[in-house]
Structure 1
Amino acid sequence: MAKPRNNSGKTKARLDISRPIGLFSSLKIELGVLIVIATSIAFVLVWFLLKYGWSGWIAMPLTMIVALSITYFFSRGLIAPLRQLRDAAEAMAEGDYSVRVQTGTDSNDEIGRLARTFNEMAEELQHADQMRRDLVANVSHELRTPVSALQAMVENMADGVVEPTPANLESILNQTHRLSDLIAFLLDLSRMEAGAASLEIERFNLHDFLDETIEPLEIADAGHAHDIVMNVDTDIWMEGDQDRLRQLFTNIIANALKHSADDTEVLIEAHENTSNGTIVTNVVNYGSQIPKEARSEIFRRFVKGKTGPGTESGGTGLGLSIARWAAQLHGGTVRVVDDDRGADFEIVLPKYHIASDE
């Protein structure tokens, strides 16, 4: 079967499994209908031939040939989609995850449902393959930049082109910090993929915890004149893994700072929801908004936000994905909610940790 190509040039195979039988919700019913149809036609035909004086030795073989032909015609409709599904599976085994099967609107039986499930599986595999490609491309790019800068600066110092001044050494240190941050992101990503969820649970004060989390961010943000306003009661206590939660809040707050104009505020407010035993924290980036259709997309790995029209924000594209992972480890959620003030990231965490049965 010819495979049309999409706009990207990648093969996009679509295998049609439409067939004469497919209106019923069960393959057993379809087979039963096929047997009834073939038997009825054979009975009528043999009756007609015998009535008009045909010899039984001629009528019976002729009737059997007609019945087998009818059965063969309809059985092709039952077997063909399975053959096409097999071909599609073989194409996927060779690495073509773009292959899909067309179920048609009249396919309601087990084969039709199998085809739709196959399409869903193919979609997930194609997405996973694209994620793998993105991982290689992103890691290569993110590693190349600081390594190239380090190599150039160290070679210049070794050749005596530049002096090892405090400013040059600080530049080297900044590049090593960038490499360290990237390695930490990749380690977190590997934990996400492995499902690692070991937590060191302790009770702590949320206000003090957020104050400690914000301090290094304010230092790193020097020069942009952002004002981080914290509206959190000092008597809110909760349970959780402070290291994992610090990843969560650091990534969310850093994202808000990155997408805020200079000389603007970032608001952090928290309150306890006594009705369901959770603590709700909102990190609001004044002025900017996130379109509703993009609110789920930004939490996917390697998806980078925009600092302006057609301009990516930089970074690894892993921060928000890791933040959501850290929240899920605690049985919480992170999402973007409607807020007239600006982009509002709402973090909902249980006040008390519930130990897993696993």
Structure 2
Amino acid sequence: MPNFARNSRRPESFVDSGRPIGLLSSLKVELSALIAIATAISFVMAWFLLKVGWSGWVAMPLTLAVSLGITYLFSRGLTSPLRQMRDAAEAMADGDYTVRVETGTDSNDEVGQLARSFNDMAEELQHADQMRSDMIANVSHELRTPVSALQAMLENLADGVIEPTPANLDGILKQTYRLSDLIAFLLDLSRMEAGAASLEIESFNFAQFIDETVEPLEIADAGHAHSIEVHVPESITMEGDQDRLRQLFTNIIANALKHSADETTVLIEAHIDEDHGMIVTNVVNFGSQIPKEARSDIFRRFVKGKTGPGTESGGTGLGLSIARWAAHLHGGTVRVVDDPRGADFEIVLPKYHIAL
């Protein structure tokens, strides 16, 4: 597991002196109150000093000094969050996104609102920075594994340690397939980040589309003796980008096959929700279940499922994330729903394409 020492530590806070004023809803009102308080104190103090016999040449400068001191004290409290935000912005410019502003976040005026917004922005930047570091570490790991395996196999072949038998060559071929899949996933991921995916919308028969999607998966799965049952009405037609939708269904069905025991069945069934004009497809992996607390996490990037206790699936951890992205491009959703039969991925897509 990569170590993100800088990003995972507790957020650092800039704390300044408390704010004497901050309960009011407007900075203008607070400044007006500050002026009124300072003027009242100055008037009372000047009146008292003159009444007890002090000279005006002494009372007035003293009153002015006290008034300025009160104004400075209150104004410092009003502007302390701004000074904190300046210091925090300088720290963030140096790459430290853990900084937070504390003073002012509990006030109701514009400065308090700005302090809270600043902390929200800092939190988002910290999360984005951690995701970037996470992605770099995971991609490096995912690329290193097949490359190292390929290097070892080819070195053994070159040194004559192993013979170029069909089994050894098949192992090399599998590693190249894994690299190719990872590169394809990363290209899709870059499209997701850039929001640059364009859709080629066409009308097609949904049942035929599912059959064409399942066929290569059945061939690739021949060694595990899974059976795929497809219950999709022949009458369903839909509009969408077949390439993107094939990514969606291929990743969901392949995930179900990967997490099914050998010689078991994966069910694909679909129906039309006439009330909402949606096509609802369920891909059911019989026997296994996904805990409710993990159902949202599995759609995150680089999160891998388990094929057994403490054993990762060995995939890239990108398939389900890309499947959800492809569904969103069509205005649809992908989620795991309760089903006593097993893990049930429900894919809901509009029958007719609506431009997003």
TM above 0.5: yes
Give the match for residue 282 of structure 2.
Answer: 282
Report how far residue 310 of structure 1 moved: 3.6
State the Cα deviation string for residues 211-247 of structure 1 (Å, max 9, x = none): 1111222222233333322221111100111111011
- Could you say what secondary structure the match of 1:303 adopts? coil
Instruction: Tell me whether 1:12 sits opposite 2:11 in the alignment.
Output: yes
Judging changes above 3 Å, is the alpha-carbon distance between structure 1 residues 131 and 336 closer, same or farther for their aligned structure 2 residues? same
Q: Equivalents in 1 of 2:263, 2:115: separation in Å?
A: 55
* Cα 1:113–1:265 shift into 2, 3 Å: farther
Q: Which amino acid aligns with 2:34?
A: L
The structure-2 alpha-carbon separation of the partners of 1:214 and 1:87, relative to structure 1 and needing over 3 Å to count, comes to same
CA 1:309–1:147: 2 relative to 1, 3 Å: same
* 1:329 equivalent in alignment to 2:318: no
Question: Per-residue CA shift, 1:160-195, capped at 9, x if unaligned?
Answer: 332222222222211111111011011101111111
State, as a whole percentage, how many aligned pairs show the same letter. 78
The residue aligned with 2:90 is 90
2:256 aligned counterpart, secondary structure: helix
Rounded Cα–Cα distance in structure 2 between residues aligned with 1:175 and 1:142: 11
- Equivalents in 1 of 2:156, 2:309: separation in Å? 37
> Contact 1:103–1:116 (CA<8 Å) still a contact in 2?
no
Alignment size in residue pairs: 351
Could you tell me which amino acid in structure 1 is paired with residue 161 of structure 2?
V
Following the alignment from structure 1 to structure 2, what is the Cα–Cα distance between the partners of residues 12 and 165?
Answer: 56
What SS class does the counterpart of residue 142 from structure 1 fall into? helix
Spell out, residue by residue over 1:281-338, the C-alpha distance to the aligned partner (whole angstroms, 9 max, x if none).
1222233333333322222211222334443322221111111111111111112223
Q: Does 1:55 align with 2:64?
A: no
Map of 2:297 onto structure 1: 297
CA distance in 2, matches of 1:351, 1:9: 44
1:262 aligns with 2:262: yes
Asked if 2 retains the 8 angstrom alpha-carbon contact of 1:330 and 1:353, the reply is yes
Letter in 1 for 2:66: V
Shift of 1:344: 2.1
Aligned equivalents of 1:336, 1:272: Cα separation in 2? 19
Between the aligned partners of 1:354 and 1:133, the Cα distance in structure 2 is 36
Does the residue aligned with 1:214 lie in a helix, a strand or coil? helix
Corresponding residue of 2:100: 100
Secondary structure in structure 2 of the residue aligned to 1:183: helix
Whether the aligned pair in 2 keeps the contact of 1:138 and 1:316 (CA below 8 Å) is no
> One-letter code of the match for 1:171?
G
Query: Which is further off, 95-104 or 124-133?
Result: 95-104
Matches within 5 A, 1:1-358: 10=9, 12-16=11-15, 18-102=18-102, 106-355=106-355
Moved more, 307-316 or 40-49: 307-316
Q: For 2:25 and 2:181, locate their aligned partners in 1 and report how far apart those are by CA, in whole Å.
A: 54
Distance (whole Å) between structure 1 residues aligned to residue 159 and residue 34 of structure 2: 85
Q: For 1:123 and 1:309, locate their aligned partners in 2 and report how far apart those are by CA, in whole Å.
A: 34
Question: What's the offset of the Cα at 1:13?
Answer: 0.7
Q: Could you tell me whether the CA contact under 8 Å between 2:272 and 2:278 is conserved in 1? A: yes
TM-score normalised by structure 1 residue count: 0.91
Counterpart of 1:339, as a letter, is: D
* Aligned counterpart, 1:3: none
Q: Distance between the aligned counterparts of 1:341 and 1:104, measured in 2?
A: 53
**Within 1, Cα distance between the matches of 2:11 and 2:105?**
21
Distance 1:279 1:341 in 2: 21
**Alpha-carbon offset, residue 138 of structure 1:** 1.5
Letter of the structure 1 residue corresponding to residue 62 of structure 2? L
Deviation digits for residues 59-114 of structure 1 (CA, Å, limit 9, x no counterpart): 11111111111111111111111111111111111111122222567312222222
Deviations 1:227-271 (A, max 9, x none): 322221111100111111011111111222222333333222211
Does structure 1 retain, via aligned residues, the 8 Å contact 2:201–2:240? yes
What is the CA–CA distance in structure 1 between the aligned matches of 2:344 and 2:36, rounded to whole Å? 64
Q: State the shift of 1:7 in Å.
A: 11
Q: Distance in 2 between matches of 1:79 and 1:149?
A: 60
SS in 2 for 1:223: helix
CA contact (8 A) 1:301 1:321 kept: yes
Amino acid at match of 1:150: L
- For 1:309 and 1:164, the matched residues in 2 are separated by 35
**Alignment partners' CA distance in 1, 2:7 and 2:198:** 42
